Amino acid sequence: MSIFSHPAYDKHEQVAFYQDAKSGLKAIIAVHNTNLGPSLGGCRMWPYADDGEALNDVLRLSRGMTYKSAMAGLKLGGGKAVIIGDPRKDKTPELLRAMGDFINTLGGRYITAEDSGTSVEDMHVIGERTKFVSGLIEESEHGGDPSPSTAYGVFVGLKAAVEHRWGRTDLAGLKVSIQGVGNVGFRLARLLKEAGAELFVTDIFQDNIDRAVNELGATAVGADEIFDLDVDLFAPCAMGAILNDDTISRLKVGAIAGAANNQLAEERHAAVLREKGILYAPDYVINAGGIIDVYYQQQGDYNPAQVKEHIDTIGTTMKEVFQRADESGETTAHVADRVAEERFGHEDAVNGALKKTDSEAA
């Protein structure tokens, strides 16, 4: 397997591999960029088919974190960790402690937090071995879990997409399909339901589907059927690479706005969406609520009102991205990348870009 010439390697500063025979831990930490600060990103646990799949995932996710934090105006770099294994079967305190030891070897260049397959409780166990862990402060009303903030941020960004696409500020009667009603997807579904949207959901776990159907009156659809629905907006909240040649040709929606990381299978799919007239809310812009929350937890002075205020700026940033894309004819994904790269590329550009955004938002 190639590393430095890996298609997703980009300009990673560091990629570390770790194996602990006693606990069975096999994990990778990728640090993409630390220009703006230490890299911070979740620790995902997933039953990857092979090491190559895990490496590809961690590289793509880590790079995404650099762009996400820069775009959200945070003094953080981008990194991510993956544990190879099934969180429902293979997760043990011993394995999580070994993960803490692994994180510690990086000396603070990488700070971990929750992601798919890991919980607040898991962060406490990891925290027994390293101080470089966030997302576990008791003061936040959700005990450190960033998912509610991610869901709220997606909701804010989704409303900006609806306003840009259809010129309306309410969501009453809007038909929304959600792929994955887990930590983020379910909370997003609840916010959408409260705003009057009509929900269509799928998941690979029946208990998650049942919860959305029973508690929110959502309509359950098949895992593959989600791409064929005649709905207004699609919110991917499960895994990445779900916007590809096959699925895009089937989508009938006018906009895509969801939490999943790395939704585009390849960069060129942003242009395919644009040609089809589908407005795409770049994933790392819309799903930054969680990292914003974790950032304030890491700062040590957690104030829910301040966090919410910062997350609300996702709406402004999103509108700006949409508008610039319209003006320049570029894809929304390309516009977002350009702004983020200006921000983490060098300090002058960072300050300039942030000032510009602030004044434009004012």
Residues interacting with ligand NAD, by CB under 6 A?
Answer: 115-116, 146-147, 150, 179-185, 202-205, 208, 223, 237-239, 259-261, 287, 290
Hunting for tokens 């983490």 — which residue is that? 344
Q: Burial of 2 by CB count in 10 Å (0-12 exposed, 13-18 middle, 19+ buried)?
A: exposed
Least distance CB 49 / ligand NAD (angstroms):
14
Smallest distance, ligand NAD to C-beta of residue 179, A: 5
Q: At closest approach, how far in Å is the CB of 326 from ligand NAD?
A: 26
By beta-carbon proximity to ligand NAD, the closer residue of 160 and 237 is: 237
DSSP H helices in 107-242: 120-126, 147-166, 183-194, 206-216
Nearer residue to ligand NAD within complex by CB, 127 or 148: 148
- Run of H or E including 54: helix 51-71
**Which residue is at the shortest CB distance from ligand NAD?**
182
For 106, which DSSP code? T
Partnered with residue 279 across adjacent β-strands are: 255
Residue 228 CB, nearest distance to ligand NAD (Å)? 14
Q: Which one of 26, 68, 80, 319 is the catalytic residue?
A: 80
Choose among 48, 50, 62: nearest CA to 10: 62
Q: Across the strands, what pairs with 17?
A: 28
Tokens linked to 243? 């916007």
Per DSSP, 266 falls in state S
How many whole angstroms separate alpha carbon 330 and alpha carbon 340? 15
Least distance from C-beta 107 to ligand NAD, angstroms? 25
Select 265 or 349, whichever has its Cβ closest to ligand NAD. 265
Q: Nearest-CA neighbor of 60 among 257, 318, 264?
A: 264
- Closer of 218 and 330 to ligand NAD (Cβ): 218
Contact (Cβ atoms closer than 8 angstroms) between residue 134 and residue 298: yes
Provide the 8-state DSSP code for 36: S
Q: Least distance from C-beta 78 to ligand NAD, angstroms?
A: 13
Centroid of chain to Cα 342? 21
Cβ proximity to ligand NAD: between 174 and 238 the closer is 238
List Cα–Cα distances, 78 to 25, 67, 228, 230, 256, in angstroms.
23, 7, 35, 37, 24
Q: Does 89 qualify as catalytic in the annotation?
A: no
DSSP code string of 192-206: HHHTT-EEEEE-SSH
Indicate the residue among 58 and 259 with the shorter CB distance to ligand NAD: 259
In a 10 Å sphere around its CB, with 0-12 CB exposed, 13-18 middle and 19+ buried, how is residue 87 labelled?
A: middle
For the annotated catalytic residues, the residue numbers are: 80
